[in-house]
Amino acid sequence: MGVFTVTDEYTSPISPARLFKALIVDSHNLIPKLMPQAVKSIEIFEGDGGNQVKCSKNRVDALDLENFSYKYSLIEGDVLMDKLEKISYDVKFEPTADGGSKNTMTSTYYTKGNIVLTEEEIKEGKEKSLAMYKVVENYLMQNPEEYASLEFSSLIKNKLLFSSIKSIEYFEGDGDVGTIKQINYIEGGEIRYTKHRVDALDKEKFMCKYRFIEGDGFIDSMLEFLTHEIKFEGYGQGGCVCKITCDFKAKEGVEIKGIDIELVKHKPLGMYEVVEAHLKAYPQLYA
């Protein structure tokens, strides 16, 4: 497998916050409205005679709401052309002195076997991305009030959670000790579902401990068990320190690597950051 990396940089009169909200966080709503001739939905693309791409599927790998950075991988679709395993993108929006932004996109192409991409093929992919970028930029320039004060919270609920979680089902209990619930994730990710049981819950000391009792992917194939213990402790001026302790045992003959441990930490941390952003946007909730 070959790996090729290309970095492109664009400048815009639009601030990083507005571009990030429109291009990244709310793209599933905005792009189909602005480009109905090319984009049918967030999952399916249909051409108008010249565009040969019919569909593409992306996986969100990282999202930083405060620093306006976003990483995702194109893992399925016509654009891979039977030549690529995947394409990974690292997008960053940075402020400029004039109130605009400098936007950097690093594209990493993972080719199959000994296949080498041509300059024309790489150029075609860049032009499609730039076209979408310019459409959104022009829209924001013509509508300066759009995405100027949009709360992240509504976008988080519609985009961030549903970009990974499909549904949550309760099998026993209502949240107290003994409760068993299952989290179902969207298709295309590393894990389809996980089921866990609440083993301990101290509402006065803000502590919860739960054990994964069923699941697929990494958890089912490599681990005998996995538990998480979460504690919240007061800190500073009304803030807190959140401590997450993961305890796990590998199945006999299985070697746990650093990347596997990162996967164990990724899910709870991602959910934590989504909820934190929501509470910061709506400080009166749960007060």
pLDDT digit string, tens, across residues 13-50: 999 988 888 888 777 778 777 776 544 444 433 333 33
Q: Where are the domains of the chain?
A: 2-150, 160-281
Class of domain 2-150: alpha beta
Find which of 70-74, 123-127, 144-148, 238-242 is predicted with most confidence, using mean pLDDT. 238-242
Report whether pLDDT(110) > 80: yes
Question: What is residue 48's predicted lDDT score, i.e. its pLDDT?
Answer: 35
| CA–CA separation, 149 and 240 (whole Å) | 27
Question: What is residue 146's predicted lDDT score, i.e. its pLDDT?
Answer: 82
Find which of 125-134, 148-157, 170-179, 187-196 is predicted with most confidence, using mean pLDDT. 170-179
| CA–CA separation, 107 and 3 (whole Å) | 10
pTM as predicted: 0.48
Closest CA to 85 of 3, 7, 6, 5: 3
What's the CATH code, domain 160-281? 3.30.530.20
Share of the chain above pLDDT 90, in %: 20
Q: If residue 124 lies in a helix (H) or strand (E), which one and from where to where?
A: helix 119-142
Same fold? 2-150, 160-281 = yes
Report whether pLDDT(65) > 80: no
**Cβ atoms of residues 129 and 105 within 8 Å:** yes
| CA–CA separation, 23 and 132 (whole Å) | 9
